[in-house]
Amino acid sequence: MSPIPVAAFGRTGHMSKRTLFGAAAFSNVTQAEADRTMELVLRHGLNHIDTAASYGDAELRLGPWLARMRSRFFLATKTGERSYMGAHDQIRRSLDRMRVESVDLIQLHNLVDEAEWETALSDDGALKAAIEAREEGLVRYIGVTGHGLQAPVMHHRSLERYDFDTVLLPYNYVLMQNPHYARDFEALAALCTERNVAMQTIKSLTRRPWPEDAERFSATWYEPYSEQADIDLAVSWVLGDPRVFLNTSGDIHILPKLLEAAERFGARPDESTMVDLVARQGAKPLFTS
């Protein structure tokens, strides 16, 4: 296996591993479990952490590590608040929870609802708080994230309203078989390439929504691929797009397999291989409306 490749994280210039540690995996774990996971993260050389105020105890679990080795990581968090005061207070609370004086990136979390979008980007919205935090040296860059089929369209609109530094949205083979999503994703990717905006992707290992009678073996809110060979294919398909970064899945037990897959990455699997994966695993879209 080879080291996970690195790339410039958009206009920030930070040479991030193309596989970013998604600390949503720390939402509901003990500190001992988080400590073992962080040791794994360090062994694989990851240098970029993505978390959020709404990820349960994640910021708290990162705190002991960031207090000692803040300089090792490009650190990103998110605020789900839409008002100026709500975001203003939450950003500072996140810094306290993580035991840091600043973060590299603050992101407006899951900004896809029309009414919430208007509030957050208004003159008295969350974006104003993020800009003020940047002026105070509490954050360096500002991004926007989104879930669902509307994410690429809304991110495109966000970039037309404000010059965000990063975007984050779902991306996997099955999702990109939706022609409308694929069209909107490509339009967003073209704009991000033009402006040197970093593109982060999530949901790489999505197999399907959890069946109603399924015994859930993962903390993820979707059923992920679980066999190493299948994870290798899903990860390699995402990393095969040089425009994007892959945020790891929200389960500490899947993480070792995902990181091994990232280290084995060589080239994007061909179409017939991915069609076979979908058929074998009964893969289905996570987002349908």
Instruction: State residue 55's pLDDT score.
Output: 96
CA distance linking residue 82 with residue 69, whole number of Å: 31
Which pLDDT score, from 0 to 100, does residue 288 have?
A: 86
Flag whether 76 is in a domain: yes
Instruction: Give me the percent of the chain exceeding a pLDDT of 90.
Output: 94
Q: What is the CATH number of the domain that holds 240?
A: 3.20.20.100
Strand 198-202 vs strand 48-50: parallel, antiparallel, or unpaired? unpaired
Within a domain: residue 287? no
Going by C-alpha positions, the residue among 216, 143, 209, 215 that lies closest to residue 175 is 209
Q: How far apart are CA 77 and CA 23, in angstroms?
A: 9
Residue 221 has pLDDT above 90, yes or no: no
Q: Say how far apart CA 10 and CA 26 lie, in whole Å.
A: 26
Q: Is residue 286 part of a domain?
A: no
Show the domain range for 103. 6-281
pLDDT in tens, 11-43: 999 999 999 999 999 999 999 999 999 999 999
pLDDT in tens, 40-49: 999 999 999 9
Looking at the domain assignment, is residue 47 inside a domain? Answer: yes
- Predicted pLDDT of residue 18: 98
| Over residues 214-234, mean pLDDT | 92
Residue 235 lies in a domain: yes
Residue 1 has pLDDT above 80, yes or no: no
In-domain check, residue 289: no
Tell me the pLDDT tens digit for each residue of 147-205: 999 999 999 999 999 999 999 999 999 999 999 999 999 999 999 999 999 999 999 99
Residue 53 lies in a domain: yes
Q: For the chain, how many structural domains are there in total? A: 1
Structural domain includes residue 16: yes
